[in-house]
Structure 1
Amino acid sequence: MDLLSDVIVSMRTGQPGAGRVQWHEPWGHDFSADPRTAGFLIVVRGSGWLRTEDHQPVELGVGDVVFSPRGDAYAISSEPTTPLTTEVAELAPTESFGSVCAGTPGGRTTVTLCGGYRVDPTRAHPLLGELPAILHLPARAGHRHQLQMAIEALSAELETPTLGTDALVPALLDALLLYVLRAWFDTARGGGHGATDWAAALADRAMLTALDAMHRNPAHPWTVPNLAAQSRLSRAAFSRRFAGLTGRPPMAYLTWWRMTLAARLLTDSDAPLREVALRVGYTSEFAFAAAFRRAHDIAPGRYRRQRQSGRAAALP
């Protein structure tokens, strides 16, 4: 996979969930912090206010997207000072879809899409650490066509579920998340949210070439010289630029990514340890186990048993 696709796959666990919520004035809801969930909210009709602990309220309009990549708390309400509640239980439960009404019908109505992705904080890619705690993407006429199309399709499926909805909604949620991340990094590169190292790395053709090479083929015996050659830079220039933008030397990043991928394979598949080792670039199962233990402080076999038993215990 390419880098951004891998970011999505590595961070998410299980199926995402979403709900369509009709808010009847006056309304206000507090979304509490949950580091195991990356949550989003999209206004599809009406308006509201985004409220966070450290900033003044921000007015939301149709098409605006709010994204909490690390599960930080935020609130929305019909007016900046409307009292907040948490009484509307499971507005957008993960791993399910549906519609909910909040408040007493009769007043002005705002409709939002609310959703969440169950995430494993231990597998989060470092570029997610550069996103703001609460990301607000205001709708702009003539911009982000693909994001708006994904929003419209998701809204239609949640409003009127029909044959295939259960398969379509998770795919639309993944597309939505990718479009949100693309939009933010495009804006960050343009200075809209302040420059970040990973935004600069994604805009740097040489760095993106090397990153995509590692992500598309992690089992390849990459070295600094052949990655530098892929990027058409000298070894010294490549190493310096890569470490400066990503925060890790090239080989340290490759090892980190291989161990993150191995953790996912051990959790989500029954592939033998030798196969997992080969898929992340180790011809020796012993060398793989040693590298995995250094990265995760646990042997790969024991890691698999703990993760899969925990997942089984969480099933109804």
Structure 2
Amino acid sequence: MDVLSDVIAFMRTGRPRSARVAWRAPWAQEFAAVPGSAGFQVVLTGPCWLLRPDAEPMPLAVGDVLLRPHGRGHVLADRPTPGPVTPACDPADPPPAPPAAAVSADADGPVTVVLCGAYQVDPARRHPLLDDLPDLVHLPAHLGRHPGLRATVDLLAAELDQPRLGTDAIVPALLDTLLLHVLRTWLDTPPPAGTTGWAAALNDRAVTAALAAMHGDPARPWTVGTLAAEAGLSRAAFARRFATLLGQPPLTYLTWWRMTTATRLLHGSDAPLRTVAARVGYGSEFAFATAFKRRYGISPGRYRATRPGPD
């Protein structure tokens, strides 16, 4: 079982949204902070700077990818010291291209084109891996690096530039692929020795093997001993390594994963509660309901009643 794929599949709610936006210099656009979302931008053409209140202006090159995993706001502009800034917009609903307030009187000003959008994250299913990500994930467009990411960006830009039959199905799939490539690239950089957290855990074969086992079969009656066997370590060594890297004992994470899986089953299927309970490792509906209410403060039945309608 691929833990990273699970993170994407379980955490997102609704359809990811994106748009291809163009501005003619001089311009500056604020992107609002949106709690519960992860926003991204990809520079396709033209000059672009990232401006944040807590950091120096950052020049961006064509092909650079930005991910703001915690939904914090920022400004994009054509220069490090811009003039008036166009008021904030949702990262997933950028203004038409180009925004009237950002159009230069000089028709010869350089045009910047940015691919931008956002993923809405269900707070009940937000994976702790996202909390470990830095405030900004910046992947520079070095020639020959990240070929999968570059190919996905090209496909997505082409679909948004010239929509065709099937675009409504292709774009959400490409957005999920884009996020996977960004996270994979971040995880592919080995963390410094002694580092803890999810980047370190997913670069540790023993812990990754145990995580894959839990994700692959949450209903199995796992113990620290059986998980240690999956990891190829003694019980004590495994428990110590897991807790050191992830800040919690393995069975605590297992319970969290079971409850997270349950929320998806409750919102995504009409399976009886006893079936949901069995699929996440509980021998009775009562035991499952007790654990679920302890975690979320609401019964499984009432949680299912909050299921959102079709997008």
TM-score range, shorter chain: over 0.9
Equivalent residues of 2:219, 2:278 under 8 A apart: yes
Q: 1:190 Cα shift?
A: 4.7
Distance 2:141 2:195 in 1: 21
Give the equivalent residue in structure 1 for 2:9: 9
Which amino acid is 2:203 matched to?
A
Q: 1:32 to 1:234 in 2, by over 3 A?
A: same
Give the equivalent residue in structure 2 for 1:129: 131
Residues matched between the structures, number: 306
Give the equivalent residue in structure 2 for 1:21: 21
Which amino acid is 2:98 matched to?
C
Distance 1:218 1:137 in 2: 34
Match of 1:156 among 146, 155, 158: 158
Distance 2:87 2:72 in 1: 19
Q: 1:283 Cα shift?
A: 2.3
Unaligned runs of 5+ in 1: none
Q: 1:134 Cα shift?
A: 2.0
Find the residue that maps to 1:117 and give its secondary structure: strand
Per-residue CA deviations over 1:23-58 (Å, capped at 9, x if unaligned) read 110111111111122110000112210111211011
Q: 1:132 Cα shift?
A: 1.1
Per-residue CA deviations over 1:154-204 (Å, capped at 9, x if unaligned) read 0110111111111110000000000001111223x255xx94421110010
Equivalent residues of 2:45, 2:113 under 8 A apart: yes
Distance 1:252 1:157 in 2: 43
Give the equivalent residue in structure 2 for 1:64: 64
Distance 1:83 1:15 in 2: 34
The alignment status of 1:147 with 2:149, answered yes or no, reads: yes
Distance 1:72 1:90 in 2: 11
Equivalent residues of 2:22, 2:114 under 8 A apart: yes
Q: 1:32 to 1:16 in 2, by over 3 A?
A: same
Give the equivalent residue in structure 2 for 1:219: 219
Q: 1:131 to 1:90 in 2, by over 3 A?
A: closer
Equivalent residues of 2:196, 2:244 under 8 A apart: no
Moved over 6 A (4+): none
Q: 1:93 Cα shift?
A: 2.8
Give the equivalent residue in structure 2 for 1:201: 201
Give the equivalent residue in structure 1 for 2:35: 35
Which amino acid is 1:115 matched to?
G
Find the residue that maps to 1:142 and give its secondary structure: coil
With the length of structure 2 as denominator, give the TM-score of the two structures. 0.92
Give the equivalent residue in structure 2 for 1:172: 174
Distance 1:124 1:149 in 2: 27
Counterparts in 2 of 1:218-297, with a 5 A limit?
218-297=218-297
Q: 1:229 Cα shift?
A: 0.6
User: What is the percentage of aligned positions where both structures have the same residue?
Assistant: 54
Distance 1:90 1:73 in 2: 9
Find the residue that maps to 1:218 and give its secondary structure: coil
Distance 1:99 1:154 in 2: 18
Equivalent residues of 1:31, 1:86 under 8 A apart: no
Which amino acid is 1:80 matched to?
P
Find the residue that maps to 2:57 and give its secondary structure: strand
Which amino acid is 2:144 matched to?
G
Unaligned runs of 5+ in 2: none
Q: 1:269 Cα shift?
A: 2.2
Q: 1:267 Cα shift?
A: 2.1
Q: 1:228 to 1:284 in 2, by over 3 A?
A: same
Equivalent residues of 1:277, 1:285 under 8 A apart: yes
Q: 1:144 Cα shift?
A: 0.6
Q: 1:218 Cα shift?
A: 1.2
Q: 1:76 Cα shift?
A: 0.7
With the length of structure 1 as denominator, give the TM-score of the two structures. 0.91
